[in-house]
Amino acid sequence: MPGEEKHGFSVTAMLSDLFWRSPCRSISWLAGGFEVGRSTINHRVLGTELFRKTCREIEMSDIMRHYDDFLAPHYSWMVDLSLTDKIAEQQSLPAMLGLPGAVRGFAVDLGSGPGYQSFALANMGYEAVITIDTSRFLLDELEAARGPAPVKAVHADLRAFSKFVTPSGADAIVCMGDTLTHLETRADVTKLFQDAFEHLAPEGRVVLTFRDLLTELKGLDRFLPIRADDGRIMTCVLDFEPDTVVVNDLVHVRDGQTWTFQKSRPRLWL
């Protein structure tokens, strides 16, 4: 990882799963061994000002269109857990357990979806959590469930998260699920790492998880059942390419006595 030895990162890894019931790699960084001047702006004041910002013009890539237009309405259904159970699951992940508990810090959730990690961070004691996502649909779900939690939704491209955080201002930055593989280019991933490093507070942590797609699935093993009930059936078919994986998401939705068929196929980086 760029600059790992120079900056004294502590790196850990684990395996978990999400929708596909396949391994998901996770890395936790501990920022340390370098001089960073922590912002003197109070987090509460900073949060008030930053939460007023929105990113109204989000350039839509094919992957974003897949996520926002196709996947978002099915996202919470795919999880097949209640919001409370999903938050508890995320809070107990080894990656999340690498974060200090009972803290009074500031956290950022990149690609938050409906807020599973955001609410977990709030439960762990973070006094303010900015949650950033391009899906207005999923952020509306988050807002509806927010209650008194110190979580604020920002409708923006996560690659622009530095607009909402001062340098050295974040005690924790998390980017979990399949978010990293949904970025448009590898350069976007590198830039995200650089921005995360610059915006971490001393002793702050970055937690990353991403789908392990290094083992190519072949033949019928490429067909993955996601979930099925009386009103909806979802299947995913993977096509492996040298540097990418095409994800063919297929959904049948009951409409009265008939079924409608929906399909989308983003290309994800390995």
pLDDT of residue 30: 47
- Per-residue confidence (pLDDT) for residue 257, from 0 to 100: 93
**Total residues belonging to the chain:** 270
Residue 240 pairs in a beta bridge with 245
112-132 pLDDT, tens per residue? 999 999 999 999 999 999 999
Query: What pLDDT does 69 receive?
Result: 87
Domain range 219-269, CATH architecture: Single Sheet (2.20)
b/e per residue 186-206 (b: at least 16 CB within 10 A) = eebbeebbebbbebbbeebbb
The CA angle 41-159-46, to the nearest 5 degrees, is 15
183: pLDDT strictly greater than 90:
no
Bigger pLDDT: 81 or 35?
81
Strand boundaries in 102-220, DSSP class E:
106-110, 128-133, 151-155, 170-175, 200-211
What is the CATH class of 4-211? alpha beta
* Residue 163 near residue 62 (C-beta atoms within 8 A): no
What pTM, to 2 d.p., does this model score? 0.78
Question: What's the pLDDT tens digit per position in 251-266?
Answer: 999 999 999 999 999 8
Domain ranges of the chain: 4-211, 219-269
Cα 107 → chain centroid: 13
Q: Is the pLDDT of residue 136 over 60?
A: yes
Burial environment of residue 4 by CB neighbours within 10 A (0 to 12, 13 to 18, 19 or more): exposed
